[in-house]
Every structure is written in structure tokens, then in C-alpha cells.
Structure 1
Amino acid sequence: MTRFADPHRCPDCGAPIRAGLPSCGICGLPLTGEVAQRLYQTLLTADGLLIELRASGALATAARTATAPAPGALQPTPMPPGVPGQPGPPAAGTPFPAGPVPPRPRSGLSAASVPKILLSLGAACVLVAALVFLAVTWSLMSIGARTATLVVLTLVCAALSGFLARRDLRGGAEALSLVAWGLLCLDLYGARDAGWFGDVGDPTFFLVLGVVLAGTGMAAGVLVRRTPVGALTGAELVAGLGTAAACIGVATQPSLADPAALVLATLLGAAVVAVAERFALRMTVWTAGLVTLASWAGLVGSGADAASGHLSMAELWIDLVAWPLLAAAALAAAVAAVRRLPRAARDAAAAVGFGLLCLVAAAPALDESPTTLLLATLGVLVAAAVVGWAAPPCWRPTAFLAQGVAGLVAAGFALGSVVAALTNLVAAATPGWSSTAGAPLRLQDFGDQAAPLLLPVTLAVLLGTVAVVLRALPEQLPIGRHLDPRAVAAVLVAGSVTVLGLYAVPVWTVVATLLLVAAVFLAWWWLVDGSLVTLVPAALFVAGGVAVSFANPSLTAAALLVTLVLAAVVHLRAAGTETAAVAGATLVAALAGSGWTWAHLGGLDPAWGALLTLVVVAAVVLPVHTLPAGLWVCGDSLVARAGVEVGAAVAALPLATAGILLAPGSQTLTWTAVYLTVVGATVTALGLLRADRRWLLPVGGLLLAAASWVRLFEIGVEEPEPYTLPSAVVLAVVGLLHLRRNPGGSTATALSPALGLALVPSLLWALSEPAGIRALLLGLACFGLVLVGVRLRWAAPLAWGAAVGAVLVLWLSAPYVEAAVPRWVLIGIAGAVLILMGVTWERRLREARHLAGYLHGLR
């Protein structure tokens, strides 16, 4: 049923629209405002009038019909205008109404799909029949008969299509119009075959065919608007296909050079697009636009191919070898000047045109040295930055394409230089402490590269490009519009320092430069802003200086000393708690590294050097909590001091590992025990000195126990008691102190760890050996624990003593029971126990069923 006020389609082009759109996405028709409200109200009025006409026609037909309708037949009920179900006019300032959500379509073929399928098949059959007819009868007919046959068939199909269009039968009109155009193509092919066009080649014939199809298709698309159908999609598509054929014919003309032919094809396609846009033939606009774009892309490809073999400045500009690229840029600029196009399309066209100009300008450098190519790329970036900065705000995106491509090329050169410099520095630092401080860097062979001094310049140009792009972005985007000058300075300084890695300079100059720059940034952080933007670069420069200093121990000692001082300053003066804590950890790590390095410089054995460094770290960590909180600027000095402790824990592991690995093979276990003792004593002392670190006491005790175990293993002790009893005694003392402070506490929690550690290993050992003194002493200990548990009413000693003692007694008495008791007695006892368990289970199950029945019977 026809509906004028269709909220789901544009009232101009008929394209689908969604709720909330201010304008049609296809034709751009505004859907808001007073005029849109008046149009929608007018269309609603037309719908109401149409319903009244239908109702009056139905009543007149019913009055003239003598027979009554069949029982149960559904009668159409006319809907007067203004009924509640009909959408009302849109509110002022709101988008064109979207209407109610349509019901979900059913699966399978709809009623409208069947005629479309039938018409498509019918049109195909008619075309096939025409082809067969012409193939069979063509040679039998005269020229006049042929002409009459072709023209009559074409005109008949065209006339029938127009007739169906006037009867509002769009499907039939579409099908027959396509048949008519198919016959028209056959007409043209037949005329060519008969020699009516003379001796024309394929390009000229394609041009004629395309012009005819494009002209007739657009004419039909315009004329059909006078009929109820309103539009023929097939006509618009035929016009687009005709444009493609015409452009192919122009582009392949043998009398024209390839670039010139492609320029003409592009202009022809653009002309068709303009005409189709003028008459609102949307499908033709899209298809012809794609053809135009393809022709333009072919022009660009042809120009690039021609320029690739003539890259000198004279050939490109004086001999005009690059004129196809310049023509393509001019065509893109012409598209950008069309005001009716969307803003995004105009910006894209302008960006493409400017990008092609930049490509032509930089093309002579493509076959030159990397330095020349990089300079040309930087020139493109500078030119694009000037355009992006000086252009009006609406045209600033013009430089985006050139900036993106040239920026990637420049970034690739910069990345290559950075990788080469880092590789040279890593080669100088490895293997560690194997070079002199004045030894030059060993430069690696990376082939032909750009000049190293261009690295800072490249970084500066890239940063400027980023600044211009940020300025040109829309203000609606949630990003900053400016670069932080501190970050820019850090990047430029880093690039300048990296240049040193590309020359054969002494290693100490690189280390000194990195540490000096770090000190400058740290002073900036301390005296000016106190921001992480300046502190993080300082930390990175320090890390780089320490890494490069591994080439020589003296350089490492100096670098770690500077790191120690800088970390101490940050640790004490940082306002942020987390920053102070991280600096504290770095401080202790630098102290540990310095101790190890100075021990190496002093000729000390590595094992003794590790021990000395561990002692120094412990001496620094333990008294930190006694210092006044006023030394730290941050609000929470406890967290800052915790960073020192974390740094000590992190530094202890590599120190001890290095000492163990570098110790003589016969003393490995000895030094392991020594390091465990020092670390365990430090952790235990820290837990005793600080009330908030009591949880470290078990850790320290475990480390000390591990040290004693390693030492016992070294001297060949195999019995478990020397390993377990000392720790069990300590745990028992701790448990007893806990019970003393908490008289109501559980003995199982307080004493079970100590009792389990003291009894279980000895029990396992006693079970695996013949009865002897160990079993006797273990039994006496269990008996004593039972007595203590009974006397003091403590569950833990009673349970542990009874359980371990029972297992020990059963194990020791098993041989005697086996000899004294017959086998059948044991079997009988087992059977009796199983029967008793089964009876008990059955009884409990019956009681559960009775209980369930009782509950079920409750009301």
C-alpha cells in the first residue's frame, strides 16, 4: 500500500533513513526545521486523502456488487486520517520522525520477492531467446529485415517498460527496461557486424556503446519520474555501466598516449557524475564515480611508472615527464574545490593532490644516497608543516597524507640510526669489564646510512610535524593540542646523545655525557617543577650511563657513585611517596653495585666481596627506621623507607648468587651458609627492631634454619634431629610466648608447628630402621607429651603425643602380633567390623527415611 509520509525513507531520494539523523545520508536533504515539519504534515494529509479515496472506492464497488462476500472473509476497514495509530508531525528542531519499529520479518520468501524472481528469469529468457533468434535468422534476413527486427524488438520492450511504469508496476518496468537495453547492445553489435559504423576498432565501438548506454540510461532515469514508479534502478545502473564502457574506450584509443587518454577518461567520468548529480541519479553517481576514481588511479599509476625511469630533476620538471602526476594532482584539487561535496571528501581530495605534488618534488632523491633522501623527506615534512600551520582551519587536514607518508620514512631513518647506536654501545659494554675507559667504540657495519648528525634534526622535524597535526585535529577529540616542552627537550637531548654512539669516541665520553645530562634533568626536576616528566628522562639517562659503563670497572664505579648520589637526592626530596620509595630501592641497589665494584677494584675475592657488600647493605638498612621523619619531604616516610628495604631484598639475591657462583667449588656450601646467615640475621633483626615488621621474624628464622641445614649437610650429618629440633625448639618458644600473652588461645595453633616438626621426621626415621635408641627416646617423648597434655589440659601435646606414640607402638608390635595371633582371627575381626559398619549405615538410613516421612506428613 503506497504511503507518502514514510518515516523510514527520505522524501526526496527514497533512501532508507534512521531515527535521529539531521539529514539524509545519500542526498543530503535536511530532515529538521520548520520546512521539514511542513513537508511531513503535508505528506500526512496526502495519506489521509488517499485513505478516504480508497474507502469511497471500496464502498462504491460493494454497492454495485450483487453477491455478498463469502462468510468469514476479511473486510478492509478504512482508516480515517488522524487516527491514533498514525504518526503525528515532528516536534520543532527534532529530526525527521523514525516511526515505530517494524516487526521482525519472517524467514523465507516474502510476497514481494516472488514477482522479482519471476521477472528476472523472464527477462533473462527473453534476452536468450533474442540471441538465439538472431543467431539463427541473421544470415537469412536482408539488411532491412535485420534493421526492422532489431529496432522493433528494442522499441517494443522500451514501450512496454514505459507502459508498466505508468501502471505503477515497477518490477515489470525494471525487467523490460533491462531487456530493452540488452537488445540495444545487440543492435549496436549487429550494426557494427553489418559494417554500418564503418571500419571502427574496439576502443571506438566501446566509446559509442558507452555513450549510448549512458545517455539513454540517464534519460530514462529522468523521464520515469513522471510516472508513479518514480525511479528505475536498472536505468541508473545502465548509465553507470555505459560510463565505464565509454571510459574504457577513451583510455584505450590508439591515437592517444596512455596518460592523455586516462586524463580524458577521468574528465568524461567526472562529467557523467556531474550530470547525474544534477538530476539526482544516485546510483549513476556512485557507479560513475567509481569509474572516474579507477581512471584517475590509472593515471597516477601511469605517471608513477613514467617517472620511475626518469628521476632527475631536469627530466621530471623541464622535460615534463611527471606531467601525468601533476595532472592527477590538479584533478584532485579540482574535486576539492567542489562546494557541494562533503567536507571530508574535499579534505581527502586536497590531501591526495598535495601528496602527489610532494611526491613529484621529492622523486629526484629516490635514487640518491640515504642522506639525500632523508633531506628530501625532511623538506617535504617542513613544507607540509608550513601548509598545515598557515592554512585556514578547514584546510589544515590537506597536509595529513604527506605528513603521514613522509613521517613514516623519516621515522624509519631515525629508528635505524638509534638501533645502530645502541648496537655499538652494547658491543662496547659486553663482555663486562673487558675494556679500558679510553678505548673507542667499535662501530658495527650497517651498510650505507644517513649522516648521524641528521638524527637530532629528524627528531625535531618529526616533533614539529606532530605539533602541527595536533593543532589541526578537531577540537571534539579528547586529546591534548600541544606537546609538553619538557618531553620535547628530553627527546631532542636523547637524540643528540645517541649520535655519540655512531662515532668512534672513547667510552668514557658517552658515560660522562649521559650522567651529565641526567644531572641537568634532575636539577631541573629539583629546582623548577618536580614533575615526573623531567625525572623519568633523568632516570633513563642514568640507566644508560650505568649500562655503558660496564665496559670498564672504574667507569662502573664512577657511574654507580653518581647514581647513588642522585637516587639519595630524589629519595629524600621527592614529594611523591611512590617516587621516594622507588628512589630508595634504587639507592640501595646502587650501593650494592658500588660495593661489589669497589671490592673488585681492590682485588678482593668475589666471595668475600659479596659478604662485605651484604654487611654494608645490612648496616644501611637496619638504622633507617631510627632516622627522623623530617628528613623526607614526602608525606608518608614509612612507605619511602619501605622502598629501601625492598631494594635491599632485591639486591641481596644477585649478590649472594654471584658470590656462590664465583666461590671455589669446595667452598660453595660454606659460603651459601654464610650468606644465608647474614641475610637471616638481618631480616630477624629488622623484625625485632620494628614493631610493624614482626611478620619478618618467621622469614628470618627460616633463613637461619636453612643456613644451619646447609652447614650440617656439608659436614655429613644425615640424621633428621639436628636439622629439625633447633627449629622446633624456636617454634615451641614462640608458641609458648603466644599462649602466655593469650591464655585463651588454641594450643593446636600455637604448638602444632613445633610438635609436628619435632616428632614427624623422627617417627619416619624410626619406622625405617630396626628398633633402637631413637624409637625408645621418641616413645618417651610421646609419653611425656601425653602427661603434659593431661596435666595442663592442652589438646596439642596430648593429640600429637598419642597419635605419634600409637603409630610407633603399633609398628613395633606388629611382628609379635603376627606371630601370636592366627590369620583367621584377623580376618574375622575385619569381617565383624565391616558388618557392624553396614548395620549402622542401614539403621541411620532408615531413621533418615522415617524423619523425611514425618516431615512430609506435617501440615
Structure 2
Amino acid sequence: MDNSLPPADELVLVDRELAQLDARRSQLLARRAWLIQVLYPPVAAAPLHPRTPLADSTPRSAQNVLLTLGGTLLTIAAVAFTLVSWGSMGIGGRAAVLAVVTGAALAAPVALLRKGLLSTAESVAALGLVLTVLDAYALHRVALPETDGLGYTAVASAVLAGAWTAYGSVLSRLRIPRPVAVVAAQLPLPLGVLAAGGGPTALAWAALVTAAADAAVVLWTRPAAVRITAGAAATVLGGWSLLTGGWLSLVSPWSGAALLLTGAAITLYASWRAPAVATAASAISGLALLTATGGLLRAALPTDWSVPGYVLCALALTSVWRLGGAAAPVSAGGEPGTGSGPAATADTRSGAAGTGSGAVASDRGRGWLPRGIRLGLAGAGAGVAGLGVAWALPPAVVGLLGPVARTTEVWSGEHAANALGSYPATATLVLVAAVAALAVVPRLWARCGALALAWALLTALPVSLDLPYAATLALQLLTAAAALWVAVRPGPLTRGLRAVDASAGHPGARATAKADGAREAGLEGPAAPQGFGPATPWPAWAPSPRVRAAEPGTVLGWTAYVGGLASAVSAVALALDVRAATFAALGVLLALLAGVAVLGTDARRVVSATGAVLAATGLVFAVAAAAGFEDRWTALALLLVPAATAAIGSRAPRPVALAVEVTGGAVGLLALGIAASRPAYLALALALGGVIAAATAVRPERRRFASWTAAVLFLLATWVRLAVWDVTTPEAYTLPVTVPALTVGFLRRRRDPGASSWTAYGPGLAVTLLPSLAAAWTDPEWVRPLALGVAALAVTLLGARFRLQALLVLGGAVLALDGLHELAPYVVQVVGALPRWLPPALAGLVLLTVGATYEQRLRDARRLRERLARMR
């Protein structure tokens, strides 16, 4: 017998049980929280007694302060004891006393350490170290008073350094002696060189040897305090010796080269043994190497070749980066070049961390130089090469901006002088070398840099080589043409490149990549999340939408396009020196920009189309100036540009068409501004502009805007023509607006009977009636008021007949005001003839009458308002 419930009833039962379980779980959680609070009450800070002082230091810090202060005071006392006479005791007696006290101070830490008093032992040991310095001073005063001070200090510092090192090694729990010994060890060699009368070179060598010893201490000792002290000393002394070597490379290249090369070798070895500082140390080594070799080349080459020599050395050093890729990583399957095996994994970790012996081991597996060293050397070379390129760029800047900042008249035939006539011509060689170096790097940034520097090279050649005017202009036009061609067809420059993912480094992209890697590794099922949704418990693995990749062709195209436009502008500015050159440059640029507008893509088409219109405008100006046109004829000639753009816009794609027509419209406004000084020609120009706009209105997508523009231009042309004819009658200006406006309103009402009469007829009627009313009030004749009254009466009757609110209100208001104007003289006469008491009496009578019939007047006004509201 089957006792199972129907599915619907069973579902209700399951839901009820689940609800009861949820309620029971909430009760248990609340009870659990209460029990935890009872068993483990929160520890509250005990209230302090108002009279109990608050301790603001720990016993350990108080002990350290006391010990430090005591040691300092004892040190001061010992110095005063040694340097200042103490009673009748001479320096010998004081030296004997100091020797005894020093021995006691150095021996006391042994007993203190046995009792566990480490801090006290440190303080007493520090006092003992200071006393040894005073002992050395006393020894010099007592036994060796004739000895040279610098020489004795050098020997004494060496002895003290050795003694303190031995003392600290015996009492290894003391932290002060060995770092202090490192500080003392910095003095012997430099002071010994000064005592021997050595110059800057010998002193730099002494500092370098001392820095090398410090580096050895850093590499081969374990106490952190000793390594930090030695590292700081090595940085200071080594940096000072390398700076001295850089100065010597300018005044004495061979002496400086030996010093710099030795320092580079020491620093490079340190970077090899210390991966944590490999990049920084190898960068310093690379700079020292470049300074040394560049200084030797500078001494052997002419002055103009100094910077190219440095740049060539720097580019040679940057090639070290490629040495690490000699050995390809081996994959898990034993196939080279895949980069997915253990070696690749270790190398990835080494690249991320950059420190540790594991990083060195994995990095060395890829080549004979670790990655950090290669990065530092290549960075040093790239930095020096960048400085050389910056030195070579001024000719390019002058070649680009020189023609723009012109100092000669247009078409004068005179040319501005070369602002960098004495600049070394070898700057172009630096740019050539930089272009060649970047061109072989299969990276997008390198290709963009090579393209930009190639453009700078072509721009700088006329200045560096002091080319004649014709060659300079031809080279600028060729540069613009080449750059614009690359902007349209960047394909050859993209070989070996791939799209750059703009989402690299994004957390969502990394999660997506991790999920993709897990999927490729075969981790399907519950262990490999496939997406993000309501049932996915791994939101961090959810793939995020990737940003669209930046195509190499697009990036290179825009890089070339910017350079091409800059060269085009510079070429036009340079061509203004000669008439024929102006026509040639504008014609070439018109063809180039038109070609880019046809063959290009994205926004480059729009910008090129706009530039082509501007080039055509320049040609029109040039033709008008060459023909000697007056301003009015130049304005009419400029209207050819908007006419041409209107014709081109009908066939061009939408973005290009819009840009071309907007630019053409701007040129048309310029033409109107030029013709404004001659109203008759301004009227003609406005009419021609109206014709162009009317022709454009034939196109469906331009109909609304172009038709209104044409109407406005035709109206303005009419008004200007009337003003030229000295017509002052306002109706001559308003009727040309009223008639078309009423016609448009009538046609709209036929298409849409529900349209408001104010929208259809209000603007057209107001344009004529209101100016005519204002003129009628100041017109002493009777013709205009009579004609206006007849017209207003006709409008009012039409509004009443067809129930049109705008016509009834406007016509009635104008008719009333016009009639009031006609009755005003008679009213004035009557009022003047009446007694003075009569107007107030009539006003009071009117108020009484209105008050008595107030409610009736309100009903009449309400009915009038309702009737008007029912009208359209």
C-alpha cells in the first residue's frame, strides 16, 4: 500500500519543516551567544583610582633611559678628565688612571652578562669603548707627541677597530662593539692617504677600497647591526668615490676610468651576491661603466662626438638584457620554449620576489646573468641613452616650431635665421642610433618610440644640416606624407607584435586567467569554478569582463598621425614665406588629408576631413590674395568652401559628413564676417548661404536644421538689403517673416488639428502686429493706425469664427490698444474741459457699481475665461 502524499501536499510539508528548523536554529544561536557571554565576559578596563598616577613608560624603557643617561654622564666625565687638568695630576698620571678605569670598564660586562644584566653590560661596554679612544689620545700626548696627528689617528683607528672587533667577538651578546668597530674601520685608509699627502684620486681609491671591505662585511657577516652599519658606510664611501671618478673622467679620463671600472666591478659582484639589491647595485655599476668608457671616448673624439659616444656605449649596455633569454625554459613535458614547466614557475616567482637564493638560482637558469642584474644594467643604459636623446631633440623642436614663430612678413621671400646654427650636427646620429635600437625590440612601446624618434630625426635634419629653404620645405612635406601614410597603413610596423591586453594586472582579469589555467589543466568539476552565479561559492574566481585590447596598428597609427599633423602645420607655416610654396604646400596637404579621410579609420578620418576643409580654405585665401581681391570678393569666394562641403557631405559617411559640413559652416561664418563691412555684399553673401542651406535641406537627415538655417539666412539677407535701401518701415521687415510663419502654421494645423493656435499662428502674428503697434503709437499720420486696426479687426474676427485663441487674444489686444491710441487726444481734451472734482466722483461711482454687481462680474469673467480655454 502506497502512503506517499501528492507532490503539492508534500512540498507544503517540507516547507513547513524547513521553517521550523530555521526558527529552532535561530533560538539555539541566541542561546549560544548568551552562554558565551556568561562564560567569557568581556574584560573591561579596571577604573583607575583618581589618586593613582598613570605610568607613561614601561620598566624596560625607564631602565634604558637611566643606563643611557648614566653612561653619557660617565663619558663626559672621562673626556673632561682627560682633556682638562685634574688637580696637579699630569697627563701621564691621568693616562695611567684612564688605563686602569678602561680595563675595569671593559672587564665589568663579563660579570654583568653572567648575572643576566645585558642592558647594564651594554652601557658599561659603551663607556669602555669611549675610554679606549681617550686612552689612545692620552698615549699620543704622553708617548708620541711628535707623531703626525693624521697618521697617528689612522693607525689608532685601525688598532681600535681590530680591538673592538675582537672584544665584540668574545662577548658576542653585546651589540655595540662590532658596529662601532665598523665605523672606526672607515678611517684608516682615507686618513692615511691624507697623512701621506695624497690628492683626490688617491683619496677616492682609499674610499673605494674601504667601501669594498664594507661590502665584504655585508656579504660575509651575520649580525644585522653590523651588516646595516657596513652597508651604510659602503654606500656613502662608494658613492663618494664614484662621484669623484665621474669628475675625474672629465678632467683626467684614464684616472677616472680605472677608478670607475674598479667600482663598477665591486658593485656588480655585490649585486650578484645580494639579490635583494641586485637591480639598484647593478644600475650603479652600469652608470659607472658608462661614465668610464664614455670618458675615454670623449678624450679620443672631437667635442661634437662626445654625446654620441656615451649613447653608443649606453645602447651597447642595454643589449645585456637580451643575454638572459639565451636558455629557454623547459616545460613539464620536457619541451623547450613552452615556459610552463618548473623552471618557468621558479622564474616567475623570482621575478615577483626579486630576492633570496631561490630567485638567483631560478634566474640564472635562464641565462648567465640574473634577471635583477640584467634589469639594472639595461636600465642604466636606457637612462643614459634617454639623456642623449633629450640632448638631440632641440633641433627637432626648432625645426617644428621655428616656422610657426615667424618674424618675417607673409610672402616676403625672407626666411628666419637658424636659431641653432652652432648646435652639433651629430645630434642626428644619436637619433639614428636610438631609432635602430628601438626598432629591433619586439614590443609595442619600442615601436612607438622608434616611430616618434624617426619623425623627430626627419624634423631635425634641416636644422642640424642647415639645409636650404626649398629642401627644408620638401623634407617637411615628405615627413608629413610619410607619417600620414603610416597612420593609414601601419601594417608593416606591426610585424612581430600582438595586441596588448588593457586589462593586464586587473584583479578580475587575473582571476579569469587563473580560472582559464585551471580549466586548461583539467580541473573540471567542483574543484574548478566555472563562473559566478547564485550557486558559486568562489566569488573571487568570477571572471570579469575584459577591457578591449589595444591593437598595435591603432596605437602606431595614432602615433604617426599626430606627428604627421604637426609636420603639416609646420610646413604650411614655413611655406608662407614664398607665394608659390604656399600654393604647393596647401595643395599637397589637401591631397594628403583627403586621402586619409577616405582611407583612414576611426576619428582620424574625421580630423583629416576637417583638416582638408581648412587646407581648401587656405587655398581660397591664397588665390584671393594672389589675385588682389578686395574683402567683399574674398568673402564671396570663401562661400565656395561651404558649397563644396555640402556637396561632399551628401556622399560621405555620417561622422565625416558632419565634420566636413560643420567646418564648412564655420568658414561660411568667416565669409560673412569679412563681408560685414559692405552691407550690400553681405546681403548677397547671406542669400548665397541661404541657397546652399536650402540645397542641403533636400537631404532627409539635414532637412529640419538646414531648412531653418536657409530661412534665417534668407530673412537676414532681406533685412540687410532693406537696410541698404534705407527702408525704415517695420512692416517691410516683419511681413517676410509673418507670411512664411503663418503658412507653416496653417500646414501644421492641417496635419495636426489638435495643435495649439499659439504654436501655429502666435509667433507669426506677433512678429508683425507688435512692432506695427509700437510704430503706430509714435506715428503722427493716420494711415498706419487705420491699417493696423483693420488688420487687427480681421484677425480678431477670424479667431472668433474659427475659435482660435491666439488670433482672438492678439487681434483683440492690438485692436483695443490701437483704438485707445486714436481716442487718447479726445479723452485728454474732455478731461481738460471737465471740473476737477468730476474724475474722482466718476471713479467712485464706478467702484460702487462694480461692488454692487461683484458676483455677476465674477460669473461673467469666469464664462469668458472658459470660452477662451475651449479655443485652440
TM-score category, normalised to shorter length:
0.5 to 0.7
CA distance in 2, matches of 1:805, 1:220: 121
Residue identity matched to 1:376: G
Q: Is the 8 A contact 1:210 1:246 kept in 2?
A: yes
CA distance in 2, matches of 1:238, 1:805: 111
Q: Is the 8 A contact 1:211 1:242 kept in 2?
A: yes
1:483 aligns with 2:447: yes
Equivalent residue number for residue 641 of structure 2:
617
Equivalent residue number for residue 591 of structure 1:
616
CA distance in 2, matches of 1:556, 1:410: 33
Question: Which of the numbers 404, 407, 422 marks the counterpart of 1:448?
Answer: 422
Shift of 1:377: 3.9
Q: Is the 8 A contact 2:310 2:384 kept in 1?
A: no
Q: Is the 8 A contact 1:676 1:706 kept in 2?
A: yes
Equivalent residue number for residue 207 of structure 1:
154
Residue identity matched to 1:431: E
Q: Is the 8 A contact 1:732 1:751 kept in 2?
A: yes
Q: Is the 8 A contact 2:749 2:755 kept in 1?
A: yes
1:641 aligns with 2:615: no
1:362 aligns with 2:297: yes
Question: Which of the numbers 425, 433, 436 marks the counterpart of 2:411?
Answer: 433
List alignment gaps of at least 5 residues for structure 2. 1-43, 47-53, 325-367, 493-552, 852-872
Shift of 1:280: 2.0
In structure 2, relative to structure 1, the CA distance for the partners of 1:334 and 1:798 (3 Å cut) is same
Residue identity matched to 1:449: Y
Equivalent residue number for residue 433 of structure 2:
461
SS in 2 for 1:188: helix
1:560 aligns with 2:586: yes
1:185 aligns with 2:149: no
Residue by residue over 1:328-355, the C-alpha shift from the partner in whole angstroms, topping out at 9 and shown as x without a partner, is 4444445345466642244224313312
In structure 2, relative to structure 1, the CA distance for the partners of 1:253 and 1:557 (3 Å cut) is same
CA distance in 2, matches of 1:118, 1:680: 97
Equivalent residue number for residue 332 of structure 2:
none
**Identity, % of aligned pairs?**
26
SS in 1 for 2:380: helix
Q: Is the 8 A contact 1:680 1:704 kept in 2?
A: yes
Alignment of 1:694-733 (within 5 A): 694-716=704-726, 722-733=732-743
Residue by residue over 1:624-676, the C-alpha shift from the partner in whole angstroms, topping out at 9 and shown as x without a partner, is 4665xxxx7xxxx333333331332233344444555xxxxxx5333333333
Alignment of 1:155-170 (within 5 A): 155-159=103-107, 161=109, 165=113
CA distance in 2, matches of 1:181, 1:264: 26
In structure 2, relative to structure 1, the CA distance for the partners of 1:822 and 1:135 (3 Å cut) is farther
1:282 aligns with 2:224: yes
Shift of 1:737: 3.5
Residue by residue over 1:605-633, the C-alpha shift from the partner in whole angstroms, topping out at 9 and shown as x without a partner, is 4432431341x334434444665xxxx7x
Question: Which of the numbers 46, 64, 88 marks the counterpart of 1:140?
Answer: 88
Q: Is the 8 A contact 2:284 2:380 kept in 1?
A: no
Q: Is the 8 A contact 1:365 1:373 kept in 2?
A: no
In structure 2, relative to structure 1, the CA distance for the partners of 1:247 and 1:726 (3 Å cut) is farther
In structure 2, relative to structure 1, the CA distance for the partners of 1:156 and 1:552 (3 Å cut) is same
Shift of 1:592: 3.3
1:405 aligns with 2:430: no
Shift of 1:259: 2.2
Shift of 1:251: 5.0
Shift of 1:364: 1.7
Equivalent residue number for residue 650 of structure 1:
666
SS in 2 for 1:695: helix
Equivalent residue number for residue 21 of structure 1:
none
SS in 1 for 2:576: helix
1:690 aligns with 2:700: yes
Equivalent residue number for residue 416 of structure 1:
394
In structure 2, relative to structure 1, the CA distance for the partners of 1:123 and 1:710 (3 Å cut) is farther
Give the number of aligned pairs.
681
Residue identity matched to 1:141: M
Residue identity matched to 2:644: V
In structure 2, relative to structure 1, the CA distance for the partners of 1:244 and 1:652 (3 Å cut) is farther
CA distance in 2, matches of 1:722, 1:282: 100
CA distance in 2, matches of 1:758, 1:176: 110
Question: Which of the numbers 124, 130, 151 marks the counterpart of 2:72?
Answer: 124
Q: Is the 8 A contact 1:621 1:644 kept in 2?
A: yes
In structure 2, relative to structure 1, the CA distance for the partners of 1:582 and 1:324 (3 Å cut) is closer
CA distance in 1, matches of 2:265, 2:802: 104
Shift of 1:422: 4.4
Shift of 1:483: 1.9
Q: Is the 8 A contact 2:749 2:760 kept in 1?
A: yes
Alignment of 1:317-356 (within 5 A): 317=254, 320=255, 323-336=258-271, 338=273, 342-356=277-291
In structure 2, relative to structure 1, the CA distance for the partners of 1:147 and 1:647 (3 Å cut) is same
Shift of 1:712: 4.5
TM-score normalised by the chain length of structure 1: 0.66
SS in 2 for 1:449: coil
Q: Is the 8 A contact 2:311 2:430 kept in 1?
A: yes
Shift of 1:461: 0.5
In structure 2, relative to structure 1, the CA distance for the partners of 1:139 and 1:603 (3 Å cut) is same
Q: Is the 8 A contact 1:329 1:356 kept in 2?
A: no
SS in 2 for 1:483: helix
TM-score normalised by the chain length of structure 2: 0.65
Residue by residue over 1:524-553, the C-alpha shift from the partner in whole angstroms, topping out at 9 and shown as x without a partner, is 777884966467266555555444332333
1:295 aligns with 2:237: yes
In structure 2, relative to structure 1, the CA distance for the partners of 1:383 and 1:572 (3 Å cut) is closer
Alignment of 1:173-322 (within 5 A): 173-192=121-140, 194-208=141-155, 210-211=157-158, 214-215=161-162, 218-219=165-166, 222=169, 225-226=172-173, 232=175, 234-235=176-177, 237-246=179-188, 249-275=191-217, 277-310=219-252, 316-317=253-254, 320=255
SS in 1 for 2:709: helix
SS in 2 for 1:694: helix
CA distance in 1, matches of 2:158, 2:268: 27
